[in-house]
A and B are shown apart, each in its own frame.
Chain A
Amino acid sequence: EDQVTQSPEALRLQEGESSSLNCSYTVSGLRGLFWYRQDPGKGPEFLFTLYSAGEEKEKERLKATLTKKESFLHITAPKPEDSATYLCAVWDGGSQGNLIFGKGTKLSVKP
């Protein structure tokens, strides 16, 4: 069964303290991996799509990387406004393509 596991469940950082969030997956044939950011009480917002191992994407203080078994979301010198829940999802390229979501990592950045 396809699965997506995110760790840690929660992460508390001081402003400026860099760290990484992990998304590991077991999918028979990965066709795409997606990262979303979700603020409290709102819907998830798209951040990145990664399609193949070795691929990297960057946006401001965030960088997403992909291997054959996992993805990392690296946060460099985070600020309090980076506090949110980060969701990972995978797509196995099925005929229609439902995404399989992890449960998310809740990031808190303290000033």
Chain B
Amino acid sequence: DVKVTQSSRYLVKRTGEKVFLECVQDMDHENMFWYRQDPGLGLRLIYFSYDVKMKEKGDIPEGYSVSREKKERFSLILESASTNQTSMYLCASSSSPAGSGYTFGSGTRLTVV
């Protein structure tokens, strides 16, 4: 079974901390995505990557950065965590082009205190 694995289900971090969220896929997919999901706002795209070492800004990149050093791994970095970054973070991957849709990870619930 194809899988997207997010390293943590729950995280609690302090304001100002640098936070790393890791995502690994085993499907040899070219495309990887980071979303955040908040009640009433739906899925919002933070960053995505079409290839190793490539990244593109999504709709809400402010306060975030990403790293893709290997095809199977896509990391989301919160440079200095703030309380308004408390959210559910979802990683997804897809083949290119995305005709078969996305496969999502199980999500990371991040709380910034």
Contact = CB atoms under 8 A, between A and B. Distances in A.
A46 B99 contact: no
Contacts of A89: 101-102
Interface residues of A, number: 25
B99 A96 contact: no
Interface residues of B, number: 28
A87 B90 CA distance: 14
Interface string B85-113: 00010101010111111111111010000
B43 A101 contact: yes
B5 to A, nearest CB: 11
B45 interface: yes
Nearest to A93: B97
A42 B101 contact: no
A104 B41 CA distance: 10
Interface of A: 31-32, 34, 36, 41-46, 49, 87, 89, 91, 93-99, 101-104
